Amino acid sequence: MADLRGATVVLGAGPVGCMAALAAARTGPVILYAARNTQGQSRVDSVPAPLLALLLEFGVHPAEIGVTELQDTRIASWENRDPVVLRTRAMAHVMRPELDLALRREVLRSPAVTIVHTLDPHASRTAARVIDASGRTAVSAVRRVRPTEPFVARTITATGQFSRAARAFQLAAMPDGYVYRLGTPASLTFGIVAPKRFHSAAVVRKLRQLGLGWILTGLPSPETMAAGRSGIASVQWSEGPHHPIRVGDAALARDSLSSQGMANGLSDALHASENETDLWRRHKEERQAHLTSLIREIEWCWCGSSSNWMVYKTFLRGHLDAMDAVSVRNGDQR
């Protein structure tokens, strides 16, 4: 059994957990609790370009995670059915699980980090601090808050050679949810986000019926693409004591519409190691801002009045109003 006295204990060995471990290893010993099988299925994710500099600082080169270029446009059918080309800040399309494996490699290279597969919860009380990077599971939380029927993302991925136009980030809203696609020169991911399971062929038919078939241009037949990640895509947050320190999705799992989950999670990991005092307050402020942003996106959406979107909006509005009321009461007490 690893000696936890005076060490930083990190729960979870995904990208956020590995980053938290690497950052904490700069100042002392780290115990990283990892499940035995953590490798995910292949897919492409979008992250802000500045994140590449942070990854490089910790030993992960852009080329090894599939980054050969930056993208600064997105094509979207959101406010209208007709697609619009939008200029965005520079984004990088990265390969998973290559990113996860690269960060895990750096953890294995660090002499200050010990990886364990079992952890005595009583012994962890002797640790200098405990960081919960267990993702949406949020093992240290008292309560997890999310919609009763959350949107679920299901991805399929193809390999090959894809043009720059084909690998651009593209998004199309539907009454039942939305679809998106993005890629690298060698891989293309198509995502379906909805409250219930849809067969890819049915989604293709629905897109064409809605006049959204443009998003299928240059896409291999979905039936030939390999099944990838599946998981909840709606916003979720956790409640409970401020210690252990929850970071990344364990604290606030952003709706996948934002494309900010990875970047914010890795930023959390650094803050937990460098300045944890105000991290919980930052999470509260970010949660309020994120819910406000999601409500605005639904209101702008061309099909935002559909039943699925309205149910989601009602959930968001109810919790946002409750948080605002608490903030007002706390302000009055001061």
Please state which of the four CATH numbers 3.30.310, 1.25.40, 1.10.357, 1.20.1440 is assigned to the domain occupying 152-232: 3.30.310
C-alpha 70/C-alpha 331 separation (Å) is: 44
pTM, to two decimals:
0.90
C-alpha 211/C-alpha 141 separation (Å) is: 43
Domain 1-40+97-146+236-334 annotated CATH 3.50.50.60: yes
DSSP label at residue 7? P
Whether the per-residue pLDDT at 65 is higher than 70: the answer is yes
The more confident residue out of 123 and 153 is 153
Which pLDDT band holds residue 332 (cuts at 50, 70, 90)? very low
C-alpha 217/C-alpha 214 separation (Å) is: 6
The dihedral through the CA atoms of 55, 56, 59, 64 has a sign that is positive
Which pLDDT band holds residue 316 (cuts at 50, 70, 90)? very high
pLDDT at 334: 44
CA angle at 4 for the pair 103 and 102, rounded to the nearest 5°: 5
**Buried b or exposed e, range 161-193, using 16+ CB within 10 angstroms:** ebeeebbbbbbbbbbbbbbbbbbbbebbbbbbb
* Bridge-based pairing state of the strands 30-33 and 8-11: parallel
Do the beta carbons of residue 32 and residue 133 sit within 8 Å?
A: no
C-alpha 207/C-alpha 153 separation (Å) is: 17
Interval 73-128: pLDDT, tens: 999 999 999 999 999 999 999 999 899 999 999 999 999 999 999 877 766 778 88
H/E/C letters for each residue in 282-326? HHHHHHHHHHHHHHHHHHHCCCCCCHHHHHHHHHHHHHHHHHHHH
The tokens for 50 are: 């500045």
Domain boundaries, the chain: 1-40+97-146+236-334, 152-232
Which pLDDT band holds residue 275 (cuts at 50, 70, 90)? low
Residue with tokens 């240059």: 218
DSSP string, 194-233: ESS---HHHHHHHHHHTT-GGGGTTPPPGGGSEEEEEEE-
CA angle at 64 for the pair 60 and 66, rounded to the nearest 5°: 120
